[in-house]
Amino acid sequence: MKPERVVCDTGPVLHLHEAEALDLLSRIESVSVPPAVEGELIRLAADWPTGRPHWLRVHELDARSAEQATLWTASGLLHKAESEALALALQWEAQWYLTDDTSARELARSVRVEAHGSLGVVLWAAAHGLLDRQQSAARLDALLASSLWVAPTIRREARRALEQIFSPS
């Protein structure tokens, strides 16, 4: 399935940017971040102010979504950018909420929002023919060399999944 609307928190955008794989998200009709994520990206990626892709949009939250984000942040469930991104995903009825944070994924699932991470973006692109085997492996390697922390078991699972995608049936 190719999602039409995706909302990202900081992690996946930063990690895919570091791995030179952010362009994979350009295949999606609408990719958005809330202002708090944009602010974090400006602080964390020196080239972000001039290098932000034109297809990545920054969208404000409506009053109800902003209130929900504030509640999640105040309760300690999520950080501000994660809270805003999840609230925006709900507001926009996004097909995917991208996060590399386990707590954010769990909360997203509890409010019935489909959550994926940076690795999932590369695997999705491979599974949908956007990357060939060699390109997929290179993007996965670059992502694993980025600032994204990935447990050894997850690294092995991602490599196995990539092999399964390209294995003859």
How high is the pLDDT of residue 1?
Answer: 66
How high is the pLDDT of residue 3?
Answer: 84
Residue 147 in tokens: 């600032």
pLDDT digits (tens, 9 = 90+) for 109-135: 999 999 999 999 999 999 999 999 999
pTM: 0.93
Average pLDDT, the chain: 94
pLDDT exceeds cutoff 80 at 2: no
- Cβ burial 30-51 (10 Å sphere, 16+ → b, else e): bbbbbebbbbbbeeebeebeee
What DSSP string runs through 126-163? HHTTSS-HHHHHHHHHHHHTSS----HHHHHHHHHHHH
3-state secondary structure 18-38: HCCCHHHHHHCCEEEECHHHH
User: Taking Cα atoms as reference points, which of 74, 91, 99, 86 lies closest to residue 16?
Assistant: 99
pLDDT digits (tens, 9 = 90+) for 77-105: 899 999 999 999 999 999 999 999 999 99
How high is the pLDDT of residue 169?
Answer: 65
Q: How confident is the model at residue 168 (pLDDT cuts 50, 70, 90)?
A: confident
pLDDT digits (tens, 9 = 90+) for 41-63: 999 999 998 989 999 999 999 99
Q: Which CATH number fits domain 5-118: 1.10.357.10, 3.40.50.1010, 3.40.50.720, 1.10.3720.10?
A: 3.40.50.1010
In angstroms, how far is the first alpha carbon of the chain from the final one?
20
Which residues of the chain does CATH 3.40.50.1010 include? 5-118
Q: Which helix (H) or strand (E) holds 7?
A: strand 5-8
pLDDT digits (tens, 9 = 90+) for 10-52: 999 999 999 999 999 999 989 999 999 999 999 999 999 898 9
